[in-house]
Each structure stands twice: as C-alpha cells, then as structure tokens.
Amino acid sequence: MAQENAPKLPVYVALGTDTAKMAEIVRRLKLYVQPQMSFFNCNEWHAADIKDSQTLLSVFLQMPVCDTRRLAIIYEAEALPKDVIADIIDYLKHPNPSCIVCLCMQRLAKNSKLYKAISAVDPKAIINCEPQTASQAHRTLSVLEKKLNVSVDFDAADELINRVGTSLSVLEKQLEILKHSVSVSSTDHAHAVQPLRITKDLVCSHVIRTNAQQPWELIDALAARECARALTLLEAQAQTSPLYLLALISKRLRELICAKNLAARGQLALMSEKVNVKSWQVNKLRAAADNFEAAELDELLCESADLNMRFKLSRATFTDLVLFAQKICSPRQGEM
C-alpha cells in the first residue's frame, strides 16, 4: 500500500466482543504490509503465549524489512501479564513510528493505565468493536436489501436478528442463503428484476438460532399474550434464574398497570416520569395493556409476589413459573 495511505498511528486497540468487526480491523491493517514481505514484517501472538515483554519490545522497535511498515498483532490482549502491559505503556510514550501495534481486546476499563496511554496517543486509536444494537442492525438490513436485491418483511428482520444476532457479516451471509432458497423454489422469472421477498416463515424454516435468547423477548411475548411463543422462549431460558425472570415479569406487570391507569386518566404522557421507561416504550406498553383487564393485572401481580416468596422458600420450581406464564397468556373469559 502506498506510503501516503499508511495509518499515522503507532497503536490501535480493537475493543469489543464482535469478532467479525475485530477480524475486519486486523484484515485492513494487514493491507499496510506488502504481502511478499509479511513473513518478516507481520507478527501475531495470542496473549496466553506471551510470558515476558522482551520479544514484544524487540519486534516493536525493529525497522521493517524492505517496506515502510511492520505490524504486531496481539490477540486476547486483556490476558497479558501485568508487567508486560506496564512495558507496553512505557513503550507508547515513545513508540516506533514504523511499527503498528494492534491490541485485540474484549474489554478494557476506561480508567486503566493502558486505556489512558492509548488514548493519549490518539483517541481514534480505540476502535469500537461492540456488536450493533437491534435498531442499528435493522438499518444494516435495509442497506443489505438493496445490495442483494431482496425485500425483508419487518417481522422477518426481527426474527433474523433474534436468531443470529447483529453481526454485519453474519446477517449478510444469512440473507444470501435465504435469497438462494427463494430463487431456487421460485419459477417466477420476474424475480430476476424484482426484489425477492423474505418472510418470517422463511427465516424460521431456514435459519438456525445461534444467538443467545434475550429475556426481554419473553417478557414482550407474555405482554402480547402469545402463549406458544412465550412458552418456547421460556424454555430457552431454562438455565436462567427463575427468580430473575420472575422479577422481569413482575416489573412488566407493574408497567402495564401504570400504563392502563394513566391512559384511563388521559395522563399517558406522564408514563416515562412515573416509571423508569424510555419515551418510545410508552405507546408499546399502552398497546400491551389493552390485552388485559385492570383486575387481571392486579391479580397477576399479586400472584407473582406469592410465587416470588415460594421461590425464596424453595417451595417452587421452574415448572411453577411455566404455569404462571400460561396463566398470563390465558384469554379473558368470553374470548374462547
């Protein structure tokens, strides 16, 4: 890569848990080393293999061989010994401008000496590799729709993100697989021009869940009284503390009671002040509250308190939580 395009910073830290983002950062940095000289100018270590800083510092301080840059990459750098980290901090006071040091770390406290040392070189040296939020992933899917000439239903996008997470590379790969599935099963030649539609049913039948189930999906399903979905999600949380899940359920019941009472008084705008919820959640809670009668919510909240006490006295099991979830989802009298 041309000298003028070389990065100006002698250190970067790829910080976060999104391994795809981290791999992309490493890939881009490797472009600054001529491929034919990478054997001499690109060094990679796992922190567990580093016992002292002597080897590291000798590489950091070397001049590149027949190139303008050398690259030193340390994976899982949070596991480096303290004395090695201390030596890296000292090195960063007067780093070799011809060597790029890349630290790949899942976590690094902002008040740590290493974070401050890297930030002192340049705040831009700290590269965020945290996963996208769900809302960011929806925007990413919109971009991928145009790129892959597909149309993803909103509920299909929700289901896809729930199943595989928010990683850009994973979402793109899954969309390519889904697109292929649609094109193979379709005989409509108009699809060659029109975007291929991806539905929730298609996602459910072709995409395996690899993302850890989030408890708030369960809470939303209970509030919507979607019994089959709620029980499936609850089963996926079997390893989660039932007391924790019950606490989340009780919190949602209180939110629904508050939403119903404030709406009845025409004071729904006060919801975010009365209960610790975001303003965008207010209408969602109001709609969910319509699924219940006021008396039902009061009764369910009392039962949740009783179940909580039984759990604390070791007189309840996960099965009791399942039965309570079924009761929450039970239709009102007269709806059968």
The residue-averaged pLDDT of 281-303 equals 92
| Assigned token pair, 18 | 């999104």
Residue 107 lies in domain:
11-128
pLDDT at 3 over 50: no
pLDDT value at position 332?
Answer: 60
330 within 8 A of 226, measured Cβ to Cβ:
no
**CATH code for position 56:** 3.40.50.300
Report if residue 2 sits inside a domain. no
Report if residue 6 sits inside a domain. no
The residue-averaged pLDDT of 23-42 equals 92
The residue-averaged pLDDT of 280-305 equals 91
**CATH code for position 188:** 1.10.8
Q: Report the chain's mean pLDDT, rounded to a whole number.
A: 88
Residues 297, 205: Cα–Cα separation, whole Å: 35
Tell which wins on pLDDT, 25 or 135: 25
pLDDT at 253 over 90: yes
The predicted-structure confidence for 76-91, as pLDDT tens digits, reads as follows 999 999 999 999 999 9
Last residue of a domain, one of 206, 225, 242: 206
| Assigned token pair, 328 | 């929450």
pLDDT value at position 223?
Answer: 95
Last residue of a domain, one of 69, 97, 128: 128
pLDDT value at position 238?
Answer: 82
pLDDT value at position 104?
Answer: 95
Considering the domain architecture, whether residues 148 and 248 belong to the same structural domain is answered as: no
Considering the domain architecture, whether residues 23 and 105 belong to the same structural domain is answered as: yes
The residue-averaged pLDDT of 101-110 equals 94
Question: How many separate domains does the chain show?
Answer: 3
Question: pTM for the full model?
Answer: 0.54
pLDDT at 333 over 80: no
Q: CB neighbours of 153 closer than 8 A, spacing ≥ 6?
A: 197, 198, 199, 200
| Assigned token pair, 122 | 């340049």
Helix locations, the chain, DSSP H: 19-30, 38-41, 54-61, 82-91, 113-121, 134-148, 154-164, 168-185, 200-206, 215-223, 227-236, 242-264, 271-274, 282-289, 294-312, 318-329
